[in-house]
Structure 1
Amino acid sequence: MPGPPKPSGAASPRPQTRQQYRQPQVSASPGSPTAQRGGLPAWPLGTFLHGRSGPPWWFLGCHGGAGATTLNSVITGGVDAGRYWPVPDAPAVANVVLVTRSHANGLRQAQAAAWQWASGALPTVRLLGLAVIADAPGRRPKPLRDLLQLIAGGVPQVWDLPWVEELRLGDPPEQIQFPAAFSSMAADLEKTVTGGTHA
C-alpha cells in the first residue's frame, strides 16, 4: 500500500528538539557490555557522565531492526544506544526510550526489556517510554493491539508511530513529510527532559 503523497515543493523539516548531542566514542567508556537475564545487555558507563552534560535521551533498540537508528536520525537531540542499556554510576542518570517494531516478536522483546527495567536492576536508568514503530501499513491485528495494550501498562509512555512508506523506499529523512505522531513524540521528549512529567 503506498504511503501518503508528498506535498509539492520542499518537504517539511524533521521534528526538531534541542541541539543534537555529539555521541561519545565507545572507547571513552571504562566498561564493556554485560549480559542481563531476561532482557537486554547493559553497557556500564561508569563515571563517564560525571561532571558532563549527557545526552537528553538514548534510543535503545529492543531487537535487531527495531528502528532506533532511524528514529534517532528523525528526532534529533539524543543518542542511539544500539541494543545496550546505557548504565552510568550514581548519581548520574540515563534517560532511555525503548524502540521496537509492532510485530509480535518485537513487542515481546519490548515487554522483556520493560520487565527488566521494572525489576529495579537498572537503578540509574530513567525509562521515558516506548516507541512502537509500525512494521506494516494498515490496521494492526487485534492480538498485537491487545499485547501492546498490556505492555503499555508497564511503561511511563507509549508513542505509536505509523508506517512511513518513504523510509521503506530509502528516501533521506530530511526529504520526508513525517506524520504528526513524530513531531508529537519529539515535543513530549523535550517536555519530559526539561520539565519532568514521567518519573
Structure 2
Amino acid sequence: MGTGSTGPRLPAVVRHLIPTIAGLPLGPLLTLSLRSLAGRQPRLFERLGEHRSACYFIDPIDLAFAFTVIPNGERSVVRVVRKSETATSSVVIRGPLLTLLSLLDGTLDGDALFFSRVISISGRTEAVLALRNTVEDAELRPADLLGLRGALAGLVDTGILGALGVVRQMADLNSRSKAPEA
C-alpha cells in the first residue's frame, strides 16, 4: 500500500538542511541513543518480546535515505540505508518524516494515519503492533532519547518540541497554500 499525498511535508527551508544532517554519523548516534535508553528503561524493550530482534525498515519518504532499526535492548542497532534495502526487514513503515516523528512523540494517531493512507505498513503485523504499543505506552520525550535529566532535559524538550511544532506549522501552511481550491 503506498502512502497518500496527504500528511505534512518538510518545508523547503528544512529540506535544505537535510544534506548537512545526512553527513552526520546518524546511525551510530541513534544506536548509542537507543542503547542508552535500553539501559535506563529496559522494560520498554522487554515489552517487545520476540519482536526485539525484528528488523524495522523506517522510510521517511521525503528524505533520500531510510533507516533500519533492530530494537534489541542494549544490543539495539540503527543503520542509515538506501531505500532499496528492504529485503532483510521484517516490517516496512513509510511516511513523511514529520508524520513519523509525530508517531514517536504521540502527537498523531498511527491507526488513523494508516487507514487514511498517510503512512503505509507492510510485513509482520504482530511486530508492528508490538512496536506501536511500546511507543505509545513509553510517552518518550526528546530528553529521554538523549539521556538527559533535570533542568537541561526540560530545556531540550522545550526547544526540540517547540522547533518541531514550528516546522509542523510551516508544513501545514505550505500544504494549505498548495491545496486546490474548492
TM bin (shorter chain): under 0.3
The structure that is helix-richer by fraction is 2
TM-score after normalising by structure 1: 0.24
TM-score after normalising by structure 2: 0.26
The structure that is strand-richer by fraction is 1
Structure with bigger RCO (C-alpha 8 Å, 6+ apart):
2
